């Protein structure tokens, strides 16, 4: 009870005001993302309404805004194009189920395995894709389109200096839509790309055959959507955590995202996730609790029902201008100094992630490729093994430094000079760690070879874990031992 | 006597100079205390979280920025404590300053040129306008 009071009612005025501001800024984005996905604007608007309202109750990060997003919309393009809206809704439901499972199995912990470079690549490639998606809507259409896009950008960047309480994108929309209506310019509008129905979403089961073939179609999309959705949501919740200096439950958020997506799919909305931009606006505008998210969703729906007839007349050029601003805001401009200062392998991972995403138009493929590449670089880095030789009157000691495992075995074998004969040899592992069977096999090979050359060999200073694995798998102490046992 | 001193910093060169001036003022009276307030800018939150390895790394990076300032105060045997706040620097500093009973607020001017100041405004100007106690802006 105390917790409910704290999460809902400790900041009522701030939450309500912030929620309203967010709703106003959210409408153009929800419409624009629907257009990116290739669906009716209502799909994004219903999604934003459902997701925001549900997450307000079940999410793990109060004050964070979740709705229809660009990252998710971009993944849906081929599915919608080839199979249509109903398959998208089915995929949305499946995405939600996968996300709930991720949350239940505490997969949020896996986030720590995604390197910084990949996250930065994710954010940058998202910005680039959002920008590219605007191009067909303003390049080569008419000079009036360019003018409107330009004016939108001017309003959006200059006005906040003077008017802080009303979001500039909203002012741009109101002003330019009025201009477009009264002056009768020949401009494409939202209505040209879809209809706005001024009613609440209704429950319906997506019209898809309930069979394995459908599952085959939607599963890859749902997995990609689930991964991207959780990735962006967990990043956003870290940012909101930092801004509010509070902590949040990541796995609860994952479950919440899943529940929201499942319900949204049944009410005609596309899958969504948390939004960095809107969450930052929410916190900056004074929103801290779950109430702000709820108000954002409710007010958005209220505006659509009341003002839907005007919304269809919004010129596409204005939405394009707003989306260009979103892509500029999303891009991490610090990346240029990051590329200069970060280790070369990190920079390569970041660039490769961006390149793959832009080439495939699929954020999930880029992220997975980035993680794999990063892992390969990591293995390469720690497979550098060092051997120092120390010769005294009685013995020759080889000091091994580094991690001995399958990838560093070759370096180890090269470093041990097996042509030595009739000597006392000590191999000292105090600065090394033995990881696997290949490593033990390499040690065996070296020891047996030395003994064949009439040397006395002893192994020293294995740490506890290394000793355990050597005792278990090594054959050099076993008179009948065969090297082929490895 | 300036006994209760608020030093607002952002880790920049100007903050370091402000810290040096703080030493001069704090040394005048025995028993003066300095509260260092560091506002983590909302607008930078996204970039800093994205570039940090994890939340601990983020905290460490921020503390690192304060080390030169801490050293200046420590080496001059000034009593001080640190408060980290999150928000928009100007309003946050003003609210914090006005809530406590400080004798003076010391802040570095950001050193923005006149064009930038016209477009972006200035934290130190906001502070000097709205804080109720005397303000020292260090150039």
pLDDT band at B113 (very low <50, low <70, confident <90, very high): low
How many CB pairs (< 8 A) connect A and B?
Answer: 45
Measured CA to CA in angstroms, residue A436 lies from A279, A423, A439, A472 at distances of 46, 28, 5, 11
For residue B50, give the nearest of A161, A244, A332 by CB distance. Answer: A332
Q: How far apart are CA A224 and CA A244, in angstroms?
A: 30
Summarised one tens digit per residue, pLDDT across range B41-68 is: 888 888 888 888 777 778 888 888 899 9
Which SS3 state, helix, strand or coil, does residue A66 take?
strand
Contact list in A for residue B90 (CB cut-off 8 A) is none
Residue A299 has pLDDT above 60, yes or no: yes
pLDDT digits (tens, 9 = 90+) for A380-399: 888 888 888 888 888 888 89
pLDDT of residue A420 exceeding 90 = no
Give the count of beta carbons closer than 10 Å to the beta carbon of residue A285. Answer: 20
B47 closest CB neighbour out of A235, A244, A334: A334
Average pLDDT (A96-116) is 86
**Predicted local distance difference test score (pLDDT) of residue A11:** 86
- Overall residue count recorded for chain B in this entry: 139
CA distance B47 to chain A (A): 7
- A266 Cβ partners below 8 Å, 6+ apart? A89, A93, A203, A204, A205, A206
The percent helix, strand, coil of chain B (3-state, each to 5) is 50, 25, 25
CATH number of domain containing B93: 3.40.50.620
- Spatial strand order of the sheet with B104-108 comes to B79-87, B33-41, B4-9, B104-108, B135-138
Do A116 and B55 lie within an 8 Å CB cutoff? Answer: no
Run of H or E residues at A23: helix A12-37
How, if at all, do strands A395-404 and A386-391 pair?
antiparallel
Which class for A192: exposed (0-12), middle (13-18), buried (19 or more C-beta within 10 A)?
A: exposed
User: So what's the pLDDT on residue B42?
Assistant: 85
Per-position DSSP letters for A193-240, written without gaps between them: H-----S-----------SHHHHHHHHHHHHHHHHHHHHHHHHHHHHH
How high is the pLDDT of residue A288?
92
Q: Is pLDDT of B40 > 70?
A: yes
Q: What phi-psi label fits residue A84: left (phi over 0), alpha (psi between -120 and 50 degrees) or beta?
A: left
CA distance B55 to chain A (A): 8
- Using DSSP's 3-state secondary structure scheme, residue B84 falls into strand
The tens digit of pLDDT for each residue in B64-112 reads: 889 999 999 999 999 999 999 998 888 999 999 999 999 999 998 875 5
Q: Sort out which chain B residues have CB atoms less than 8 A from A243's CB and list them.
A: 42, 45, 86
Buried b / exposed e over B122-136, threshold 16 CB at 10 Å, is: bbbebbbeebeeebb
- B46: chain A residues, CB-CB within 8 Å: 239, 276, 280
Contact assessment for residue A268 and residue A75, using Cβ atoms and an 8 Å cutoff? no
Q: What is the structure's pLDDT at B121?
A: 60
| ipTM for the whole complex | 0.83
Instruction: Point out the residue among B46, B84, B88 whose CB comes nearest to the CB of A239.
Output: B46
d(CA A53, CA A297): 5
The pLDDT tens digits of the residues spanning A234-247 come to 999 999 999 998 98
Q: Which domain holds residue B34?
A: 4-138
Please list the alpha-helical segments (H only) found in A245-362.
Answer: 250-266, 276-284, 290-311, 316-330, 335-341, 344-360
CA distance A447 to A477: 9
Q: Is A187 helix (H, G, I), strand (E, B) or coil?
A: coil
Distance between alpha carbon B139 and the CA centroid of its chain, in Å? Answer: 14
Closest CA to A176 of A318, A310, A32: A318
How distant is the Cα of A117 from the closest Cα of chain B, in angstroms?
8
| Secondary element (H or E) of residue A28 | helix A12-37
Distance between the two ends of chain A, CA-based, in angstroms?
Answer: 61
Find residue A168's DSSP bridge partners. none
At A244 the pLDDT is: 92
In order of A395, A433, A450, A453, B6, the CA distances from A457 in angstroms are 10, 19, 7, 11, 69
Chain-chain contact of B45 with A119 (C-beta, under 8 angstroms): no
**What confidence tens digit (pLDDT) does each residue in A179-235 have?**
888 888 878 888 888 777 788 888 888 888 888 888 999 999 999 999 999 999 999
Q: Which two tokens stand for residue A439?
A: 């490593």
Cβ A483 vs Cβ A441: under 8 Å: yes
Say if A338 is an interface residue toward chain B (CB within 8 Å): yes
Domains of chain A: 8-336 (no CATH), 386-485 (3.30.750.24)
Alpha-carbon distance values, A35 to A133, A319, B99 (Å): 9, 10, 49
Inter-chain contact A244–B86, Cβ cutoff 8 Å? Answer: yes
- What's the pLDDT at B95? 94
CA A27 – CA A74 distance, rounded (Å): 18
Average pLDDT of the segment spanning A309-336: 89
Instruction: Say how far apart CA A246 and CA A258 lie, in whole Å.
Output: 23
Min Cα distance B29 → chain A (Å) is: 35
What's the number of domains chain B is made of? 1
Query: Considering only alpha carbons, which residue of chain B is nearest residue A124?
Result: B50
What residues have CB less than 8 Å from A178, skipping those under 6 apart? none
Q: In the sheet that A395-404 helps form, which strands lie side by side, from edge to edge?
A: A386-391, A395-404, A424-434, A456-460
Q: Which of A81-95, A113-127, A182-196, B123-137 is the least confident region?
A: A182-196
Burial of A81 (0-12, 13-18, 19+ CB in 10 A): exposed
Mean pLDDT of A265-291: 93
CA distance B48 to chain A (A): 9
Least trusted range by pLDDT, from A120-129, A157-166, A377-386, A431-440: A157-166
State how far the Cα of B136 lies from the Cα of B113, in Å rounded to an integer.
19
Lowest mean pLDDT among A122-131, A242-251, B116-125: B116-125
- pLDDT at B28 exceeding the cut of 90: no
For residue B117, give the chain A residue with the closest CA. A161
Does pTM surpass 0.95? no
């Amino acid at each position: 009870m105390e917790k409910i009071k704290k999460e809902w009612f400790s900041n009522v005025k701030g939450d309500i005001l912030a929620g309203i501001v967010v709703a106003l800024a959210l409408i153009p984005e929800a419409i624009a993302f629907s257009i990116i996905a290739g669906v009716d604007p209502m799909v994004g608007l219903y999604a934003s309404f459902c997701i925001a309202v549900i997450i307000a109750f079940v999410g793990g990060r109060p004050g964070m805004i979740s709705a229809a997003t660009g990252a998710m919309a971009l993944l849906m393009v081929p599915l919608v194009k080839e199979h249509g809206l109903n398959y998208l809704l089915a995929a949305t439901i499946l995405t939600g189920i996968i996300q709930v499972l991720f949350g239940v199995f505490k997969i949020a912990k896996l986030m720590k395995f995604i390197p910084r470079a990949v996250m930065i690549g994710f954010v940058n490639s998202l910005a680039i894709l959002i920008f590219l998606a605007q191009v067909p809507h303003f390049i080569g259409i008419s000079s009036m389109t360019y003018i409107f896009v330009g004016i939108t950008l001017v309003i959006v960047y200059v006005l906040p200096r003077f008017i802080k309480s009303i979001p500039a994108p909203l002012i741009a929309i109101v002003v330019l839509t009025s201009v477009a209506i009264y002056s009768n310019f020949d401009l494409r509008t939202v209505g040209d790309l879809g209809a706005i129905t001024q009613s609440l979403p209704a429950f319906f089961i997506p019209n898809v055959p309930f069979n394995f073939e459908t599952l085959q179609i939607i599963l890859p999309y749902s997995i990609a959507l689930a991964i991207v959705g959780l990735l962006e949501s967990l990043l956003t919740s870290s940012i909101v955590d930092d801004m509010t200096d509070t902590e949040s439950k990541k796995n609860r958020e994952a479950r919440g995202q899943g529940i929201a997506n499942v319900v949204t799919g049944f009410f005609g909305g596309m899958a969504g996730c948390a939004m960095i931009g809107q969450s930052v606006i929410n916190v900056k505008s004074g929103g801290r609790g779950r109430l702000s998210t709820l108000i954002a969703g409710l007010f958005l729906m209220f505006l659509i029902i009341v003002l839907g007839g005007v919304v269809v007349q919004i010129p596409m050029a204005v939405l394009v201008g707003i989306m260009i601003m979103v892509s500029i805001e999303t891009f991490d401009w610090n990346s240029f100094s990051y590329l200069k200062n970060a280790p070369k392998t990190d920079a390569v991972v970041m660039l490769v992630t961006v390149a793959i995403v832009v080439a495939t138009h699929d954020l999930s493929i880029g992220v997975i490729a980035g993680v794999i590449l990063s892992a390969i670089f990591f293995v390469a880095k720690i497979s550098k093994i060092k051997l120092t030789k120390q010769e005294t009157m009685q013995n020759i000691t080889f000091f091994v430094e580094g991690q001995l495992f399958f990838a560093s075995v070759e370096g180890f074998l090269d470093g041990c000079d097996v042509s030595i004969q009739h000597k006392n040899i000590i191999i000292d592992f105090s600065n090394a760690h033995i990881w696997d069977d290949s490593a033990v096999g390499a040690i065996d090979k070296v020891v047996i070879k030395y003994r064949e050359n009439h040397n006395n060999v002893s192994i020293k200073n294995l740490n506890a874990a290394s000793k355990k694995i050597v005792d278990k798998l090594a054959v050099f102490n076993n008179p009948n031992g065969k090297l082929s046992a490895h | 006597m300036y006994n209760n001193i608020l030093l607002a910093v952002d880790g920049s060169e100007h903050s370091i100079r402000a810290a040096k001036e703080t030493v001069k003022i704090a040394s005048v009276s025995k028993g003066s205390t300095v509260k260092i307030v560091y506002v983590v800018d909302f607008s930078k939150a996204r970039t800093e979280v994205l570039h940090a390895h994890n939340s601990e790394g983020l905290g460490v990076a921020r503390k690192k920025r304060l080390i030169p300032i801490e050293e200046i105060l420590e080496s001059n045997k000034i009593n001080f404590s640190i408060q980290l706040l999150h928000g928009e620097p100007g309003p946050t500093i003003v609210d914090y300053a006005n809530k406590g009973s400080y004798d003076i607020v010391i802040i570095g001017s950001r050193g923005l040129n006149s064009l930038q100041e016209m477009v972006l405004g200035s934290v130190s100007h906001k502070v000097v306008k709205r804080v109720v106690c005397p303000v020292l802006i260090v150039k």
